[in-house]
Amino acid sequence: MDFRNPQHIVFVLAIVALTATAAYTDVRRRKIPNWLTLPFFAAGWIYQAWFHGWAGLSDGGLGFLIGFGTYFVLWMVAGGGGGDVKLMGAISVWLGFRLTLYLMVISTLLVVIDSVIVTLYTVLRFGVRQFKKQYLATGKTDANGRPVFGETAGQRRQRRILPFAVPLALAAWLLLLADGTILKGGQL
């Protein structure tokens, strides 16, 4: 990879800045803010138009359709958060179609691996009862022992095993490394 090329410098810095900031805010606040995703979304279109022209815009559009579209559907069926959807939309414009597909596969594998590790650790250290109390929506009771139905958005966020921006950031960084060294004909 030629780091003297402005296209590569802009691309790598943007992806690293977006994913690192998103991971930090998702871990600290369990939220990915609009002030982060929306400017990077717009900047992705500018990047694609400036460096790749119409081909880049169409590739960014296809990346957006697959990335944002898939996570939007998952969000609609109550899986994940709205910030995750916007983050995927912003990064997929930068990555384009092929790299977005790779990112989705790698991040999904990282989520599965992490979920298994956290589940095993919690069950072995604190027991099944504590795991159920912390991570499952069922079986919650109020102070009087009556079952509680429904959750607030904050309670759902707290129940998440790992903020999604963390495995997405790791997957993006692994993808940048792999695309620059292993995969031929990639973005970098």
Q: Per the domain annotation, does 157 fall within a domain?
A: yes
pLDDT at 107: 94
**Do the domain assignments include residue 162?**
yes
Q: What is d(CA 131, CA 129) in angstroms, rounded to the nearest whole number?
A: 5
Task: Write the CB contacts of 168 (distance below 8 Å, at least 6 apart in sequence).
Answer: 19, 22, 23, 84, 87, 88, 91, 103, 107
The SS3 of residue 63 is helix
pLDDT of residue 96: 94
Query: For residue 9, what pLDDT is reported?
Result: 86
Query: pLDDT at position 180, please?
Result: 67
Q: Give every residue of the chain whose pLDDT is below 70, as ranges.
A: 1-4, 78-79, 135-142, 145-161, 180-188
Q: What is the pTM of this model?
A: 0.81
What domain count does the chain have? Answer: 1
Q: Assess if residue 95 is contained within a domain.
A: yes
pLDDT tens for 95-140 read 999 999 999 999 999 999 988 998 898 888 888 877 777 766 665 6
What pLDDT, on a 0 to 100 scale, did the predictor assign at position 41? Answer: 96
Residue 1 lies in a domain: no
User: Which residues constitute the domain of residue 103?
Assistant: 6-181
Predicted local distance difference test score (pLDDT) of residue 155: 59
Number of Cβ within 10 Å of residue 141's Cβ equals: 10
Residue 141: what are its φ and ψ, rounded to 5°? Answer: -130, 155
Q: Which residue reads 């940048």 in tokens? A: 176
Q: Furthest-apart CA pair in the chain: how many Å?
A: 65
- Domain-embedded: residue 186: no
Which residues make Cβ contacts (< 8 Å) with residue 51, sequence separation at least 6? 7, 10
Q: Would 124 be classed as within a structural domain?
A: yes
